[in-house]
Amino acid sequence: MPFVHELLKYRSVAVVGMEKNCGKTECLNYILRRLPSDGPGVCVTSIGLDGERTDQVTGTAKPEIILRSGMFFATSETHYRSRRLVSEIVDVSGETTALGRLITAKVALEGKVILSGPSSTLSLRRWMDSISGFGIGLTIIDGALSRKSSASPAVSEAMVLATGAALSCSMPALVDRTAFCVEMIRLPEVDEQKLPEEQTLTVSSMAQEVELAPEVRRIEVSGALTDRLLARLLTERRLPDIEVAVADFTRIFISPDSWRRFVRAGGRLRVHRRTALLAVCVNPLAPNGYRLDSDLLCRTLSDKIQLPVYDIRRQCEDEA
Amino acid sequence: MKLRDIIDSPCGLRYVIDSLPLASGYALRYLMDTEALTAPEDIAAAYSRMRKHLSAAGDGNLVSMLHSILCSLKDISHTLSRIGAGNTVDDIELFEVKALILLGRRVSAVLEKASQTSIAPHTGDLEDALKVLDPDGTEIASFYIYDSYSPELAALRADIRREADADRRTAMMDREQALEAGIRERLCQALHPSVPALQRLQEELARLDIDLAKAVQMLRMRLCIPEISTSGVTSYKGMYNPYVKEVVERAGGEFTPIDLSFGDGPVVIIGANMGGKTVVLKTAALCQWLFCFGMGIPAEEALIAPRERVFFISGDAQDMGAGLSSFAAEMKAIDGVVRASAEAQDGSRIAAMIDEPARSTNPIEGTALVEALVDILGQREVALLLTTHYNIPSSHCTRLRVRGMEDGKMNYRLCPAPEGDVPHEALNVAESLNISPEWTGKAKKLLEYE
């Protein structure tokens, strides 16, 4: 699968699911199995808790994370103790998780482990800095439920997006919602050429009023971009002349409807830092047993987003 | 009394402790739990230890190197106690024991290379413990149950690597984990005799971090090592409050260092508002406490008498939590000094710094209360330093006065004020503050009328 080799061009990659049971862990295991053993040192962790045998929310069976010899991983003390592999501890970090301190170890004998890494992007970043001395060339971050933040460029240079029938059993809705997410991830970057101070206005989504001076050319959104703020900007006649900028796509919390209205009105949204989207993986099976046509889903989504889309389980079966 | 009990006393102690360049959080907790020293020989030993670290502290590269190692120092007392009690600990804890030994050895090696062996921790008696946790002699801070602990384990792991069947592999992993558990138990038994040496090493490393930080702070902040007074007299030349000095200098001002001596009879400081009386008192309390923990003293020269108890009572002691008014809270706090002096065999072993006692009551009763307090504590030879606006007769005490307003500027230095009324400078100071002339003018007229 070509995108696995793409991963090796980056120092940190997040695997993010759009919803629980979208096949994120399966996707991660797929990647881990196929990474070349003679490549750079690989370290795997999660933001929050992942790799549990059964889903904590829906109770469905979940694949565990399987790590090969030579790989590094980081997990909480509690889950380190319950590992089913042989590993050599290389660091006990001051960073703590809800389940104890963060343990970094190198696998000596392949097996399974539950990952429960740092709970915030800030502590994840600190941990990544702290392990820089172990010869790790690629850090893979398993983003837990609704933790798009793990794919923030502040932490990950690139990402793999997992989507599936768990998000919606209606194929058009699933395709639309995924395509919208992909559109946000691939928003163009701000031209970082510094504008004169009077041409930039910094606003927060919490602001009650947005008063635009005639010379303003860029609105910098501090924090999250919400529907409320977008609706307020839509009332602005000069919207086509103004660029709206956010730090990165993880700060965008708008609905597809608001987005379409904004675009129709001539609005332009930019990000300061972009995460490279390497691939989109789909799981056509919903937790309630409903199955979408895998081929049709991959084809429709791929046409819409102009990126290769993979059904990981199918890929594994084909390869077997 | 531990440092953590007094750290938030409003004399600026937290500022000095926060600016200690400690490398590890463990050393800070260790310092916080340190008891204040009261015996002259203990204080002398603490300063002698700090002196030994001064040469290392002056070597910036050495300090950086030691910091980068010591920042990994952790408190593993609980693990060591568990091994000492015959329990088996897990890989994470064994890793930490190994990391402690290796950390100690790295610190020793760095100090030996810098010809600073006198402050190096002792790791010689931990060779056996290191062999237990580092059977392959790699001296790398990592740990697991190594293959070399047991040929049976090594063979089983090799079999697991070759096994393709998932169920058989699971059963083999179970056996592997059982073997690991047995080896872990054996390792903990082998470590048992080394527990006292490990505990000693952990403590030595924390103390090295603390003593080095004290020495570095002394050089950076230009503090001094005090002489220990045997006469009960405490005296400072060029004393300053590091926190206030920084605030003043940041605002473009210049801090006036103060000379002060007390302990041979009560000392009462009188003088203008805003004349720095409270700062003098706070700094005297700060210095006394820094002395109790063997730290550098913010003065050019210092001669300090050890005390068993130090009281610092600031006038703004309103205790809302206890439902006490400012007067009641203050009276209770001062009564603590009176009662402690009554119970003490030697009152001179108590130092009390009291800021404007009874300030919030009427001046007639206030003066009586302060005069009586000075008399009682003076008779009991308590090292009393007190500020007031009341006119306390010099027969009971040594009176010092802030020089006050001179040519429109405040002179903060102290000078003897043996006789006469307290300075009447409140209105001058108020005028220098641009207080409404309507108010100050009327007050002046009232005084003329009187």
| A195-A199-A203-A208 Cα dihedral, nearest 10 degrees | 180
Q: What is the mean pLDDT of residues B398-425?
A: 75
- What residues of A are in the B interface, CB distance below 8 Å? 69, 77, 80-81, 84, 86-90, 92, 94, 101, 103, 105-106, 108-111
Residue bearing the bigger pLDDT, B396 or B339: B339
> Has residue B32 got a pLDDT over 90?
yes
- Neighboring chain B residues of A113 at a CB cutoff of 8 Å: none
Chain A contact present for B96, CB below 8 A? yes
Is B91 at the interface with chain A, CB within 8 A? yes
Q: Which of A103, A110, A111 sits opposite B92 (nearest CB)?
A: A103
What is the average pLDDT across B9-28? 94
Among candidates B96, B144, B173 on the partner chain, residue whose Cβ is nearest the Cβ of A108: B144
- pLDDT of A97 strictly over 80: no
A56–chain B nearest CA distance, Å: 24
| The amino acid at B205 | L
Compute φ and ψ for A95, nearest 5 degrees. Answer: -65, 135
What does the pLDDT look like over A118-138, one tens digit per residue? 878 888 888 888 888 888 889
Topology (CATH level 3) of domain A2-186+275-319 = Rossmann fold (3.40.50)
B contacts of A90 (beta carbons < 8 Å): 141-142
pLDDT of residue B422: 66
Q: How far is A184 from chain B (nearest CA, A)?
A: 41
Q: Report, as an integer, the average pLDDT of A218-242.
A: 87
Mean pLDDT (whole number) for A13-29? 86
Give SS3 for B301: strand
Lowest-confidence pick of A106-110, B215-219, B321-325: B321-325
For chains A and B, what is the number of CB pairs under 8 angstroms? 40
For residues A158 and A307, the answer to whether their CB atoms sit within 8 Å is no
Q: Name the residue in chain B with its Cα closest to that of A100.
A: B92
pLDDT band at A61 (very low <50, low <70, confident <90, very high): very low
Distance CA A244, CA A269 (A): 5
- The percentage of residues in chain B with a pLDDT greater than 70, rounded to a whole number, is 95
Give chain A positions within 8 Å (CB) of B143: 88-89
Q: How confident is the model at residue B323 (pLDDT cuts 50, 70, 90)?
A: low
Domains of chain B, residue spans: 3-213, 222-449
CB B209 within 8 A of CB B23: yes
Q: Which residues, at least 6 apart from B18, have a Cβ–Cβ distance to it below 8 Å?
A: none
Query: What CATH number does domain B3-213 carry, 3.60.20.10, 1.10.1420.10, 3.40.50.880, 1.20.1630.10?
Result: 1.10.1420.10
The more confident residue out of A306 and B435 is A306
Q: What's chain B's average pLDDT?
A: 90
Q: Do B95 and A92 touch (CB under 8 A)?
A: yes
pLDDT at B371 over 70: yes
Contact B287, B260 (CB under 8 A): no
Architecture of the domain defined by B222-449: 3-Layer(aba) Sandwich (3.40)
Q: Which two tokens stand for residue B415?
A: 């000078």
Q: Among all residues of chain B, which has the CA nearest to that of A78?
A: B92
Q: For residues B275-290, give the mean pLDDT.
A: 90
Q: List A89's β-bridge partners, or say none.
A: A105, B143
Whether the predicted pLDDT of A60 surpasses 80: no
Residue B21 has pLDDT above 60, yes or no: yes
Cβ of residue B176 closer than 8 Å to a chain A Cβ:
yes
pLDDT of residue A151: 67
Is residue A17 over pLDDT 60?
A: yes
Contacts of B145 in chain A (CB under 8 A): 86
Is the pLDDT at B22 greater than 90? The verdict is yes
How does the average pLDDT of chain A come out, rounded? 84
User: Is some CB atom of chain A closer than 8 A to the CB atom of B157?
Assistant: yes
* Cβ-defined contact of B176 to A77 (cutoff 8 Å): no
Confidence (pLDDT) at B66:
97
Q: What is the pLDDT of residue B413?
A: 83
Tell me if A86 and B141 make a contact (CB, 8 A cut-off): no
| Nearest CA-CA distance, residue B50 and chain A, Å | 29
The answer to whether A94 contacts B25, with C-beta atoms less than 8 Å apart, is: yes
Whole-number Cα distances in Å, B367 to B42, B262, B273, B274, B357:
40, 21, 17, 21, 9
Say whether pTM exceeds 0.80: yes
Collect all residues of chain A within an 8 Å Cβ-Cβ radius of residue B75: none
Residue A206 has pLDDT above 80, yes or no: no
Residue B386 has pLDDT above 80, yes or no: yes
Tens digits of residue pLDDT in B357-370: 887 778 888 888 98
Nearest Cα residue in chain A from B91: A89
Between B239 and A58, the more confident residue is: B239
Q: Sketch the domain layout of chain A as residue ranges.
A: 2-186+275-319, 197-271
Three-state secondary structure readout of B343-409: HCCCHHHEEEEEECCCCCCCHHHHHHHHHHHHHHHHHCCCEEEEECCCCCCHHHCEEEEEEEEECCE
| pLDDT at A8 exceeding the cut of 70 | yes
CB-nearest partner of B144 from A84, A89, A110: A89
Q: For residue A36, give how far its alpha carbon lies from the nearest alpha carbon of chain B (Å).
A: 18
Which residues in chain B touch residue A111, judged by CB atoms under 8 angstroms apart?
173
CA torsion sign, B50 to B56 to B57 to B58?
positive
**Which positions in chain B touch A108 (Cβ < 8 Å)?**
144, 157
Q: Is the pLDDT at B160 greater than 90, yes or no?
A: yes
Least CA distance to A84: which residue of chain B?
Answer: B173
Which of A86, A89, A109 has the CB atom closest to B143's CB atom? A89
The helix/strand/coil state of A140 is: strand
Amino acid identity of residue B169, one-letter, is: R
Structure tokens at B245: 């000095």
User: Each residue of A263-284: pLDDT tens digit?
Assistant: 999 989 999 999 899 999 998 8
Q: Which of residues 25-64 of B touch A (CB under 8 A)?
A: 25
Q: Which residues are CB-neighbours of B127 under 8 A, at least 6 positions away? A: none
Question: Region B1-8: what's the mean pLDDT?
Answer: 93
> Residues B39-89: pLDDT tens digits?
999 999 999 999 999 999 999 999 999 999 999 999 999 999 999 999 999
B319 pLDDT band, cuts 50/70/90, is: low
Contact A80 B92 (CB under 8 A): yes
Please give the pLDDT value at position A173. Answer: 92
Tell me whether B149 touches chain A (CB under 8 Å): no
pLDDT of amino acid B282: 92
pLDDT at A145: 46
SS3 A157: coil
How high is the pLDDT of residue B329? 83
Spatial separation of the C-alpha atoms in residues B103 and B92, rounded to whole Å: 16
